[in-house]
Structure 1
């Protein structure tokens, strides 16, 4: 499974989730930010329970940055406008015109299951602003260890290992 297409499908599920939870419609999904989507990607990819399935075999390139974990391949695809259906900027998400990808749900059931598990952890995560999501990801020990090592080495980021994320004993979702 291509991580770019898996993330693109994830965005469509985030949009549906956002619209389900945002009954007041005071702002639409298109007003969500790149930072929010990158934090939601991390929270979707990680295991929700000890030993539970996760998406870290697909999204396997997380780096600890000052604002939390970032999947570098997805970040680069966003920057290079390589997502199939969406354009994401610092402050907005736009669906590309004349592009409608019909994803076979069976092919992406892992992604749907991961989002469903995240909804069970905190149904309102999708409505949080970017900095509230950053606060949540900053509670993860795997991020803290990697960012502290980056600082020690005088670097701006450091790769988070899949094992450190999977074995993190501080799995926070609120």
Structure 2
């Protein structure tokens, strides 16, 4: 019985993580299109620009932006990899097409459902508030970061000591990745500009 309860709690946490990620993407779309002054309902420019790599770097940056009230309790499995931090459960969901509204297939990002039908009733108002606050804080740090190409975001994440130390450990252990300590991410000097 205890195993079943624990498995259920894990699924619930993962579901919340996946929904929170899609909510962040929803907000990123609005931010990106506002910065670019786009009114195209197809969201073609967003879909072309927001690759898997770019989204994963933005996720790391938005997750750590609010000191004392960050998103690292939700997105808690960042691994230091060659191109910067990657949230492993989000990456796995991308590869295995586990999202409700969006998919990252091969090198293409597309909507599973029309953008105007996306709804997030299953996220609590507290969850949305926390996510909105992180987006607003990232915007305040650098309102243009949403327009940066993926490799510029990679360069920014490579400035973080928490990534550098974990990636160095991965290389020393002859591994391709190493779990990043959430407390080290929280304590790190944070970078949001080129």
Count of residues paired in the alignment: 171
- Tell me: higher relative CO, structure 1 or 2? Use CA pairs within 8 A at least 6 residues apart: 1
Q: Distance in 1 between matches of 2:106 and 2:147?
A: 17
Deviations 1:93-142 (A, max 9, x none): 21113683322472411111101100000001111110000000000000
1:158 counterpart residue number:
178
2:135 counterpart residue number:
115
Q: Assess, with a 3 A threshold, how the Cα gap between structure 1 residues 129 and 57 changes in structure 2: closer, same or farther.
A: same
Which runs of 4 or more aligned residues in structure 1 lie more than 6 Å from their structure 2 counterparts after TM superposition? none
1:33 counterpart residue number:
51
Q: Does 1:56 align with 2:72?
A: yes
Show structure 2 runs of 5+ residues with no match. Answer: 1-12
Contact 1:68/1:137, CA 8 A, preserved across alignment: yes
Q: Distance in 2 between matches of 1:167 and 1:143?
A: 12
Further displaced range: 62-71 or 99-108: 99-108
Q: Distance in 1 between matches of 2:173 and 2:62?
A: 29
Contact 1:33/1:89, CA 8 A, preserved across alignment: no
Show structure 1 runs of 5+ residues with no match. Answer: none
Structure (1 or 2) with the greater helix fraction: 2
Further displaced range: 103-112 or 69-78: 103-112
Q: Distance in 1 between matches of 2:107 and 2:95?
A: 13
Q: 2:161 aligns with which of 134, 137, 141?
A: 141
Contact 1:33/1:90, CA 8 A, preserved across alignment: no
Q: 1:126 aligns with which of 140, 146, 151?
A: 146
